[in-house]
């Protein structure tokens, strides 16, 4: 079933097996089978609490190379190494006492959980995992299937999100199947992911911990545990000649086929008025238009003429992040050409939500205050 040798340097075609597992009580035999695929250099997609990952043994450079090939991922965008317990840290991290102390505090507070920590890389982790960087991203996922898979494999698992490069990350097994069926050995179906957007990426190699990618663990959470931290303005693109701290940041990720435009403004009613008016104008022009809103916003829009998708509630933004990527994929499925998205407050987990929306929109933000 695993066809690594004949695939090297050629097409990423594989016979894919889809295996359903209970997220609370995964069948041990089926899990052992999946772990054996990892041990033999194969590719296994698995659920985590954030999004699905596309995994291979982090210590097998050839298998890791196949991850890049299966996703069509640029070869300078490093992968996160997933561990099942803190005992495995010395295998991958070579940070000094200062880093280890920070890592200890963070892991006690947020692992297992949606936090990836960038530390100095142990030479045992092959160059290809970190694309030659001296650092490595490490994460312990809060999902039993994921942790059992890593434990039974006996090695840390390198895994990016299990989508084709440039597509929204997968928050259900169906999304993974749509993108990667025929390109990986196994897809584990463990149900929908809880968080729905990728982990917070936190670099602790410098004096002040820096959030390179906002996620469900917020800046406030980091400062509470480490005493300091920074979230650089992710709306600014790096200056000419300047390389971003996290290579992934330079790519237009998370974009659906539809053109996404964000409507921001001081107040949500003003935002909705501007969205409704523009949606009406576009529809009159014959443009298939979608609207991204929340449950309380759905009634403002004409569901007969528009593709209206409501995710979660403004009272709890994690519920909106939960539905974001599924919504972006659904707009494409329903043939929306332009999607008008309501903006959300950039506070706490709202940073993660707006960061992903901003990228899906290629930075297109319209000020609703000036439209009315
Ligand atoms: O929630 C998640 O993080 C998911 C699940 C599967 O764990 N994984 C994920 O991986 O989102 P990926 O590859 O799609 O995103 C990893 C991000 C990229 O932006 C990459 O550039 C950054 O982490 N990254 C990884 N290693 C890094 C390093 N050593 N230094 C700086 N950035 C790093
Ligand atoms: Mg990704």
pLDDT of 6 higher than 50: no
CA distances to 34, 321, 340, 368 from 263, rounded to whole Å, are 44, 17, 7, 6
Task: Give residue 163 CA to ligand 2 midpoint distance, Å.
Answer: 7
Residue 252 has pLDDT above 60, yes or no: no
Of 158, 246, 322, the one to substitute when testing ligand 1's pocket (max ligand atoms within 8 A of C-beta) is 246
Pocket test for ligand 1, best of 160, 195, 196 (most atoms within 8 A of CB): 160
Q: Which atom of ligand 1 is nearest to the CA of 130?
A: 29
What is the pTM for the complete model shown? 0.93
Distance 281 CA to ligand 1 centre (A): 39
The residue length of the chain stands at 372
Q: Which of 50, 52, 58, 78 for a ligand 1 pocket mutation test, highest count of atoms within 8 Å of Cβ?
A: 78
Q: What is the pLDDT of residues 306-358, one digit of tens each?
A: 999 999 999 999 999 999 999 999 999 999 999 999 999 999 999 999 999 99
Domain boundaries 17-226, corresponding CATH code: 3.90.870.10
CATH number 3.30.470.20 given to 259-370: no
pLDDT of residue 4 exceeding 50: no
Q: Whose CA is nearest to atom 7 of ligand 1?
A: 53
Nearest residue by C-alpha to atom 30 in ligand 1:
246
Across 219-227, average pLDDT: 98
* Count of other CB atoms within 10 angstroms of residue 289: 27
List, for residues 134-172, the tens digit of each pLDDT value: 999 999 999 999 999 999 999 999 999 999 998 899 999
Q: Tell me the domain boundaries of the chain.
A: 17-226, 259-370
* Mean of pLDDT values over 79-102: 96
Q: Which ligand is nearest to the CA of 246?
A: 1
* 206: Cβ contacts below 8 Å, ≥ 6 apart: none
Nearest in space to 42 (alpha carbons), one of 200, 153, 174, 170: 153
Please tell me the distance from the alpha carbon of residue 133 to that of residue 206, in angstroms, as a whole number.
15
Tell me which residue of 137, 165, 186 sits closest to 69, measured CA to CA: 165
DSSP string of 123-185?
TTS-HHHHTT-SEEEEE--S-HHHHHHHHHHTS-EEE-BSS-TTSPPPSSHHHHHHHHTTTSS
pLDDT at 1 over 50: no
Residues with CB under 6 A from ligand 1: 48, 50-51, 53, 77-80, 116, 118, 130, 133, 135-137, 139, 141, 159-161, 198-199, 201, 212-213, 246-248
Residue 139 alpha carbon, nearest atom of ligand 1: 7
Counting atoms of ligand 1 from 1, which one is nearest the CA of 162? 6
């Amino acid at each position: 079933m695993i066809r690594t040798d004949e695939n090297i340097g050629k097409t990423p075609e594989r016979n894919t097996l889809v295996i359903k597992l209970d997220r609370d009580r995964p069948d041990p035999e089926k899990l052992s089978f999946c772990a054996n695929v990892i041990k033999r250099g194969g590719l296994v997609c698995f659920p985590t609490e954030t999004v699905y990952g596309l995994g291979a043994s982090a210590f097998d450079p050839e298998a890791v190379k196949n991850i890049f090939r299966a996703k069509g991922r640029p070869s300078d965008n490093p992968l996160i190494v997933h561990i099942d317990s803190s005992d495995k840290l010395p295998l991958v991290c070579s940070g000094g006492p200062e880093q280890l102390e920070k890592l200890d505090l963070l892991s006690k507070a947020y692992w297992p959980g949606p936090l990836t920590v960038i530390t100095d890389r142990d030479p045992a982790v092959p160059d290809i995992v970190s694309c030659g960087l001296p650092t490595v991203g490490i994460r312990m996922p809060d999902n039993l299937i994921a942790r059992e898979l890593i434990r039974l494999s006996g090695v840390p698992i390198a895994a990016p999100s299990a989508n084709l490069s440039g597509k929204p990350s997968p928050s259900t097994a169906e999304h993974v199947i749509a993108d990667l069926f025929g390109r990986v050995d196994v897809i584990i179906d463990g149900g929908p992911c809880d968080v729905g957007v990728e982990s917070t990426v936190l670099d602790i190699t410098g004096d002040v911990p820096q959030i390179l990618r906002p996620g469900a663990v917020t800046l406030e959470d980091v400062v509470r545990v480490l005493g300091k931290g920074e979230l650089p303005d992710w709306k600014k693109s790096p200056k000419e000649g300047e390389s971003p701290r996290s290579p992934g940041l330079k790519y237009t990720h998370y974009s659906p086929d539809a053109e996404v435009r964000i409507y921001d403004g001081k107040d949500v009613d003003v935002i909705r008025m501007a969205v409704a008016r523009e949606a009406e104008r576009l529809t009159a022009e014959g443009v298939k238009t979608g609207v991204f809103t929340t449950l309380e916003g759905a009634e403002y829009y004409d569901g007969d003429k528009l593709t209206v998708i409501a995710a979660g509630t403004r009272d709890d933004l994690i519920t909106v992040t939960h539905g974001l990527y599924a919504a972006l994929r659904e707009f494409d499925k329903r043939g929306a050409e332009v999607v008008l998205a309501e903006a959300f407050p950039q506070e706490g987990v709202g940073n993660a939500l707006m960061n992903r929306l901003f990228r899906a929109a290629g930075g297109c933000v319209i000020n609703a205050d000036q439209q009315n």
